Amino acid sequence: MKLSIHFFHSRRPFFFAFLLFVLLSNPVYSNQTAVSSHIRAEAHFQKGIQFLLKGQLIAAEKEMNQSLKFDWYNGKIHWETGWVYWQKKEWQKVIYHWEFTEKFTPDQKDLNKFLYLSKQYLKLEGKLEQTPIIKAKNSFKENLNPEDIVITAVGDIMLGSNYISEKKLPPDDGIHLFANVVQYLKGNIVFGNLEAPLTKQVESQKCKKGGNCYVFRTPPSYSRLLKKAGFNVLNIANNHIVDFGIPGVEETIEVLTRQDLNSFGYISTPSLIVDSNGVKIAFLGVSTTYCCIHINEMSKSEKIVKMLKQQADIVIVSFHAGAEGLGAARTPIGKEYFFGEFRGNVRLFSHRMIEAGADLILGHGPHTIRGMEYYKDKLIAYSLGNFMGYLGFNTSGHLKYSLILQITMSTTGQLKRARIIPIQLSPRVIPEFDPQGNSLVLINDLSLSDFGDSAFLFDIEGYWQQ
């Protein structure tokens, strides 16, 4: 007996190894173990999803990592774990988990798009310290006081769309689109929000083929219309610039660059500094869309504004946010939603950007004019409205009233003069001068209603009442 016990103990490691081999070789045991691991992984995964939906990111991270311990090769778990780190802005971890998703579940919907964007965000963290300075081109400087900087700004621009049908493209390739207003589009900076990609991309993921929804695609050749009209700086931080995905955005940027049209707002180039007669004018663009810095990321935007202030003489922040349509003319206090989608807190955002060092805020997105506020000696234009939207924008009611805002600043960013040129949109959504001055009346009413003593007001000739 003693010999047999000694024999057993001396060979115990080999015995247990043999026993484990037998058990693992048994398909019943192996299947039961796999099922048990899957059940545990799924339980932790579902808890993680619930915590993620509630915004409890630390708890979500813990549950997702527990889930991966039981089922590491599950691309779905890596995908949702990546979203936990996306919310935490931990881009290296996002990329880490989504590259595993790419390996295990390569057909995951939207994987390529968001993996690309997370890599852009990671790059962005390393290059915010110094924004490239670009010489202003295509700007009208004749008869301008060299001690002044004139900024002419308009709202949403969509030059026509050939998506699904070319019936919504203007005749003669659009050469007359700006004919009625081109004389007003002059200044060191002529700014607008480009609300459609300039691309030849064929497929849009935004709508099902043949579906009825708002998707815009403008021929790349139409970029020359913007240059000829006088524009030289365009914001592309908006929801429609991604109607044809990342390839459509990148093609748009390339097309604009060939026409010496400076663009900003996409995640790869959220900010821009333009040198006009030796004066450095910086721009930052934010939106409520995945392509761009989100308006809710106020701390990040504040950081960028402070950096830009160190590099430039004037800092301008552009945002594309707020609810839309006839019922969106008022600027609410607090958060805005549109069809359940969070559209920002534009008052809080604008105030914080000015406190961080911005000299001018240019808003757009509601597709209607909104009031203007004079805050800490700076102008906030909460929405410049629609400016050009050939057969693509609604012009019912007050939506047909638009404006051109001309701002004169000192070379250090002090507001000197402001003027509104009232515009009315034709039934085809083409801008023309409005001799009745409807937008002047509308904007003064909105400014007084929403901002009271801090309202930024204009006289009947369209000039700022200082």
Model confidence at 246, pLDDT cuts 50, 70, 90, reads: confident
162 vs 121, higher pLDDT: 162
| Domains 22-125 and 133-454 are alike in CATH topology | no
Contact 201, 251 (CB under 8 A): yes
Is residue 28 over pLDDT 60? no
Is residue 34 over pLDDT 80? no
Burial of 162: CB neighbours in 10 Å, binned 0-12, 13-18, 19+: middle
The mean per-residue pLDDT over the stretch 317-326 comes to 98
Contact 244, 269 (CB under 8 A): no
Model confidence at 213, pLDDT cuts 50, 70, 90, reads: confident
CATH H-level superfamily of 133-454 = Metallo-dependent phosphatases (3.60.21.10)
Q: Average per-residue pLDDT in the chain?
A: 90
Model confidence at 94, pLDDT cuts 50, 70, 90, reads: very high
Is residue 147 over pLDDT 90? no
Q: How many helices (H) and strands (E) does the chain have?
A: 12, 17
Provide the residue ranges of all domains of the chain, joining segments of one domain with +: 22-125, 133-454
| CATH code that applies to domain 22-125 | 1.25.40.10
Name residues whose C-beta falls within 8 Å of residue 423's C-beta, 6 or more positions apart in sequence.
Answer: 181, 387, 401, 402, 403, 404, 431, 432, 433, 434, 439
Q: How many CB atoms lie within 10 A of CB 165?
A: 8
Is residue 124 over pLDDT 90? no
The mean per-residue pLDDT over the stretch 159-186 comes to 96
Whole-angstrom CA distances from 290 to 237, 245, 395 are 10, 11, 28
The confidence score (pLDDT) of residue 196 equals 97
Contact 134, 272 (CB under 8 A): yes
